[in-house]
Amino acid sequence: MSVLVVGSIALDSVETPFGKADHVLGGSGTFFSASASHLTPVQLVGVVGNDYPLDQLQPLAKRGVDLAGVEQADGPSFRWRGRYRHDLNSAETLETHLGVFSHFAPKIPAQFREAPFVFLANIDPRLQLQVLDQVEKPTLVACDTMNFWIESRRPELLELFAKVDMVLLNDGEARQLTEKTNLVHAAKWILERGPKYVIIKKGEHGAFMFSADSVFYAPAYPLENIFDPTGAGDSFAGGFIGYLARTGDLGEANMRRAVIYGSAMGSFAVEQFSIGRLLDVTRDDIDRRVREFRQLVSFETELAEQGA
């Protein structure tokens, strides 16, 4: 089944302790699409300026990302410049130029409106709500957000939460939004506002998936070489939602597997700048990493498994 994603399509300039890259493909919609397209067809909606190297999106198109919803507007593309120092968990933003993204009003092409899976990447919650008005009863809607919207669009964000099935956000955002230090309390707070699932991403410390009656935890893969953390969260979302869309199974066991696929895709994303690694990873690589995750956490109890 296909996934519709609405998000940013940017040009990133990134400096890490290991090198730098200028004006490379970035943005939540781009990372999500590059990741999810390994698992399922993707429909991307976003806006770029007339300076955008559209030809560089062609590898995505070849892998099943439908770019019919990528609008090219008059003006400069969204550009972000950031730096990571030793703490690869937090980016220092040096420059943000919204360009044509500041007037973005998502228009969902008619042929995308029945997408069964919808991911509302990190954009203004008012736009995320506008997308929901344009789609027909999806099987699952998930959204991401960020500190800026938590501060400036809190009522709209909570209105959105009441309409989605799942919220993905990082630990700092969860604490900021809920004003709760403890992540279990933060997750409960969010679940009480509508979503059936909350995924709290902790960067190099893994991710939790909470529902009303279960909690699942997946570590981040202990990589020897983390090159550039940009896009890890959106690549996680792409692997996660992509796997759900591919299997069409929203049962607990499959949701857990999907989190591991998300973690695997996040772990590939950080191995190179931009979507470099996501473009050349193979389905075998992905399956191998999923098995490595199992090796990483698996243990057998000597106790009878009497329905813990």
Give the residues lining the site for its own copies (CB under 8 A): 86, 88, 181-185, 202, 205-206, 208, 214-219, 222-226, 253, 256-257, 259-260, 287-288, 290-292, 294-303, 305-306, 308
CA 20 to chain centre: 23
Q: Are 290 and 260 in contact (CB under 8 A)?
A: yes
**Nearest-approach distance from CB 41 to its own copies, in angstroms:** 20
Q: Closest distance between its own copies and the C-beta of residue 8, in Å?
A: 29
Q: How far is the CB of 87 from its own copies (least distance, A)?
A: 8
**Of the two residues 89 and 130, which places its CB atom closer to its own copies in the complex?**
89
Q: If you search the block for the tokens 């470099």, which residue do you land on?
A: 276
| DSSP E strand stretches across the chain | 3-6, 10-16, 19-26, 42-48, 65-72, 79-83, 92-97, 117-120, 140-144, 166-170, 197-201, 207-211, 214-218
Quote the least distance from Cβ 241 to its own copies, whole Å: 17
Residue 116 or 219 with smaller CB distance to its own copies? 219
CA distance 228 to 201: 17
The CB-of-274 to its own copies minimum distance in angstroms stands at: 21
Q: Which is nearer to its own copies, 155 or 307 (CB)?
A: 307
What is the smallest separation between the CB atom of 175 and its own copies, expressed in angstroms?
9
Shortest reach from residue 278's CB to its own copies, in Å: 20
Give whichever of 64 and 206 is closer to its own copies, judged by the CB atom. 206
Identify the bridge partners of residue 167 per DSSP, sorted by sequence position. Answer: 143, 198
Return the structure tokens found at 219: 């570590």
50 vs 182 by CB, closer to its own copies: 182
Q: Which residues 6+ apart lie within 8 Å of 298 measured at CB? A: none
- Which residue number, 18 or 148, has a Cβ lying nearer to its own copies? 18
d(CA 176, CA 181): 9
- In 3D, which of 22, 3, 18 has the Cα closest to residue 274? 22
Gap between the Cα atoms of 23 and 172, Å rounded: 28
Which two tokens mark 238? 């792409």
Q: How far is the CB of 204 from its own copies (least distance, A)?
A: 8
For residues 117 and 220, what is the distance between their CA atoms, to the nearest angstrom? Answer: 25
Comparing C-alpha atoms, which of 225, 237, 239 is closest to residue 270? 225
Joined together, the tokens standing for residue 179 give 């004003």
Q: Kindly tell me the sign of the dihedral angle through the C-alpha atoms of 284, 290, 295, 300.
A: negative
Rounded CA separation 275/14 (Å): 13
Contact 53, 44 (CB under 8 A): no
Closer to its own copies by Cβ: residue 78 or 243: 243
Choice between 55 and 284, CB closer to its own copies: 284
